[in-house]
Structure 1
């Protein structure tokens, strides 16, 4: 539903020459380019005149799209710019463009560049409203700062875009942008944005041309070599042994082949899917559900938005250690298809429940596959289907799902999805859950009971939601129901055996140009959740108010009122009524954020209120403080500090105190290389007198990583690093290392 569909597309000139990408717009070829004025502030204000002058020069030569940005600035000393790793420049001055190359209003490639030429790219998915910054294309950019602003030159090879070359003249939707972060962070565009329309991609202007553009059978071959020396030892005993040493040499190969202009095949053999970058620390001391970690691996990230639906049915981080992977993706004339197959040296399975979830790790190989098809009937209606399979020796999970998204008007959005699952567990599952004890001696809990229920193999889940959006307000409602046997083991759905209804409302205010604030909104929602038998699990109302003001500041505060069940008295049965307590939680919270100057970000989260103590099934007082401070020392050195402090009290006595610190120091040598030190420290003190079961009074864990990275492009990379980890409990007098790893990875991409 492109708002510009009835307007004549803007012609992009064809010029059979290539500009030199050096940041200096001196090539005569730019005089033949189309000039696009970027002069309208679309955020946080409502389409006001830009305070700075910006224009883009655009042309194409049949194989690449060339864009030159001329960004004037009356105070160039205030330009915010740093040397950063790719995709880490969001708080800098930026210019760039969004391209809906298939003109379906479903996805848009995003290309942004800071004044030094550092790149940020991603894919915006209108279906899920997510932006996947893990996607990386191979394109060129260069920036130059002058005494009146800065200029940036960009070359985007058309091979990185999906487009239909069966048509002589191609029409693509594009938006040209500048981000100006000062006291406010202004989003400046070449178009006006209708804030009553939640679909921004739908509003992008149309551009036509590319008559000479053809997508040939491009092939990218990327061999890789990973070397890791790992030293481990078991320190959970009376005596601490020496480290055992193992060195692995793992060659690998990735191949990307554009079989047709619309279809891409990805192959990977013996890939190194190791996690190079340390995950951000997460605190889970009082959480009964499994934590979510995002995918960061290149093979799975390629066109991963093609697998998106309203539910997370394809979470590829479940595939931990594959020997091979094959992926086929295609998009043509409204038809989008994606499929992959990969094996795994092990099998990690999430066992969901309605009060908690757990993960089972099986020492057996598994086969994993996912298929996704979507048909965009027109600009307002999409219909999709997803199917996944995971299976090992005698374990199997199959999923089939149908979904749709319908926008009858620019203000209204309807989402529907129905999913059927079929799961079979073998005895090995029960053995793992029971630590190989006989079933008669097994400590029954929700996870074991869910696996043992052999008569309940097939489960149904469905989702229905409606949203009405206007410029100043929106209202929404949704209902989802997952039966007790519902499983989506290729995805990440950690709760089943529940149905939940949610309804809410939001109101927005837009500040005038001379106001000290620029945006404000009030949000509230109400929800209620029951299990499959109609027993109450949770009922909640929450409300918050957010204000955006000077120094790019955000002040937000809110209250939550919730009635929820505690733990089961008798964990050998799954019933709720008469088997749990119903607790009332009242929480007050506040969030503060500001970016007062270039390279400085400060935030603070405060949370206090009564909360259920899940380890002891009682109500207590929880206090949470989470400060964040990121700052730059010059353009090259960045310091990122995160800390989480959590204290839980019951009847005036501490139950536990937890501290989690995450420190990352990065020196960026230039656009291509950096060295980074990451330190994650966890420290938990528990009052053993306040626990029903035996626990350690002290638990500490320390993880460190030193990493050097050189990236010629996203696929030609060198990583060299060292990491270690260790812990301390009541049996150890200090933090003792149990893991040390020296690693190196090299890959090189040949574009054929």
Structure 2
């Protein structure tokens, strides 16, 4: 969408001049959505459910969007004032037109929105989503070692699990997953690591990417203009270690080693309080993994990864300080 004509709608339902959501549609009908935080940064991993349609004619193009209130978070009130802005991108002119002008030489996005006042007759909808799944797959690959008792070239696999999303309050959301399936996630690039240091891969699993900025900001100084110049930003939490490949090593003629550690269950609570504090908590349990070993005569099993419990509490990110600096109400 960056290289195409587009229309983008920005909303700040909390009207805190710091956070919000954006929904964009290109002239070809391609959608893009993101969450904004700290006034100007974007979390593009957010994947909302909304509808849009585009019609192209001789005079140009027209777009219509339908955004359900269930995709937005806002507190209960009799009347609301939201922040709103609309951007039209004309790529051939390298031009952007705004309802409320956002200058290129000035920082800020949510703090520069217009006010949509006297919104009434709406209530924050409750959220409860259940998504069970059952998967099966088969492999027909010539085994790397002939004579293996664990792989004759044809193997079948099956799994079942469920994802859950629940709105605890109007501003706190609980995500849970049981035996998640990440088969649709893009495969990591092949890397030959000859060093003693761990290779860091980008997180692409949906459960961990949604709301990841709450945990990714853990350790930052808190300033909205902090870009990491002159000092590295600490990585205190690396989510790819949850469900990683088993770390135990086996040396035997024939072996059957799990490629990843099974995530038995995980839960994540993300949201904000009425005072403007952003909260996050993540809890995960991965199973004990075993490898099957054989010397061609006898078959045994060996534990290669222990049962692991992970609890991440990054605390609260104080957005009140930023609000005072920007003079927002």
Tell me the TM-score normalized by structure 2.
Answer: 0.73
2:200 to 285, 288, 292: 292
Task: Output one character per residue of 1:41-94: Cα deviation in whole Å (capped at 9) or x when no partner.
Answer: xxxxxxxxxxxxxxxxxxxxxxxxxxxxxxxxxxxxxxxxxxxxxxxx332221
Task: Output one character per residue of 1:462-493: Cα deviation in whole Å (capped at 9) or x when no partner.
Answer: xxxxxxxxxxxxxxxxxxxxxxxxxxxxxxxx
2:269 to 308, 328, 332: 328
Aligned-pair CA distance for 1:379: 4.2
Q: Which residue of 2 aligns with 1:228?
A: 137
Q: Secondary structure of 1:314's match?
A: coil
2:241 to 314, 318, 323: 318
2:213 is the counterpart of 1:301 = no
Structure 2 portions without partners, runs of 5+: 221-233, 244-261, 290-302
Distance 1:319 1:337, change over 3 A: same
Q: Which residue of 2 aligns with 1:215?
A: 124
Aligned-pair CA distance for 1:284: 6.3
Q: Which residue of 1 aligns with 2:27?
A: 115
Within 5 Å, which residues of 2 pair with 1:441-456?
A: none
Alignment RMSD (CA, Å): 3.1
The 1-side partners of 2:115 and 2:309 are apart by 43
The 1-side partners of 2:143 and 2:110 are apart by 53
8 Å CA contact retained: 1:216, 1:260: no
Q: Secondary structure of 1:159's match?
A: helix
Q: Which has the higher contact order (CA 8 A, sep 6+)?
A: 2
Larger strand share, 1 or 2 = 1
The 1-side partners of 2:5 and 2:211 are apart by 28
The 1-side partners of 2:268 and 2:284 are apart by 9
Q: Which residue of 1 aligns with 2:96?
A: 187
The 1-side partners of 2:23 and 2:56 are apart by 19
Q: Secondary structure of 1:325's match?
A: strand
Q: Which residue of 2 aligns with 1:144?
A: 55
What is the number of residues matched between the two proteins? 278
The 2-side partners of 1:176 and 1:148 are apart by 20
Q: Which residue of 1 aligns with 2:230?
A: none
8 Å CA contact retained: 2:10, 2:22: yes
Q: Secondary structure of 1:292's match?
A: coil
Within 5 Å, which residues of 2 pair with 1:121-136?
A: 121-126=33-38, 130-136=41-47
Distance 1:283 1:256, change over 3 A: closer
2:279 is the counterpart of 1:337 = yes
The 2-side partners of 1:289 and 1:90 are apart by 36
Aligned-pair CA distance for 1:287: 7.5
Aligned-pair CA distance for 1:231: 5.5
8 Å CA contact retained: 1:172, 1:206: yes
Within 5 Å, which residues of 2 pair with 1:708-723?
A: none
Q: Which residue of 1 aligns with 2:183?
A: 274
Q: Which residue of 1 aligns with 2:174?
A: 265
Task: Output one character per residue of 1:165-222: Cα deviation in whole Å (capped at 9) or x when no partner.
Answer: 2x2222222220111222x532221122244542232222222233222123221111
Aligned-pair CA distance for 1:285: 7.4
The 2-side partners of 1:92 and 1:362 are apart by 50
Distance 1:273 1:287, change over 3 A: same
8 Å CA contact retained: 2:7, 2:26: yes
Distance 1:213 1:175, change over 3 A: same
8 Å CA contact retained: 2:38, 2:319: no
Distance 1:176 1:286, change over 3 A: farther
Q: Secondary structure of 1:329's match?
A: strand
The 1-side partners of 2:212 and 2:327 are apart by 28
Task: Output one character per residue of 1:260-306: Cα deviation in whole Å (capped at 9) or x when no partner.
Answer: 22222222122113353234x47667987544322222222333333
Aligned-pair CA distance for 1:163: 1.0
8 Å CA contact retained: 2:35, 2:42: yes
Distance 1:190 1:254, change over 3 A: same
Q: Secondary structure of 1:323's match?
A: strand
Task: Output one character per residue of 1:212-248: Cα deviation in whole Å (capped at 9) or x when no partner.
Answer: 221232211111222232456774x7x7967554322
Within 5 Å, which residues of 2 pair with 1:150-549?
A: 150-165=61-76, 167-182=77-92, 184-230=93-139, 235=144, 243-279=152-188, 281=189, 290-309=198-217, 310=220, 311-320=234-243, 321-333=262-274, 334-345=276-287, 363-372=305-314, 373-380=316-323, 407=325
Within 5 Å, which residues of 2 pair with 1:615-694?
A: none
Structure 1 portions without partners, runs of 5+: 1-88, 348-360, 382-406, 411-752
Aligned-pair CA distance for 1:144: 0.6
8 Å CA contact retained: 1:270, 1:324: yes
8 Å CA contact retained: 2:18, 2:323: no
Q: Secondary structure of 1:265's match?
A: strand
Distance 1:274 1:168, change over 3 A: same
Structure whose alpha-carbon radius of gyration is higher: 1
Q: Secondary structure of 2:283's match?
A: strand
Within 5 Å, which residues of 2 pair with 1:692-711?
A: none
Q: Secondary structure of 1:341's match?
A: strand
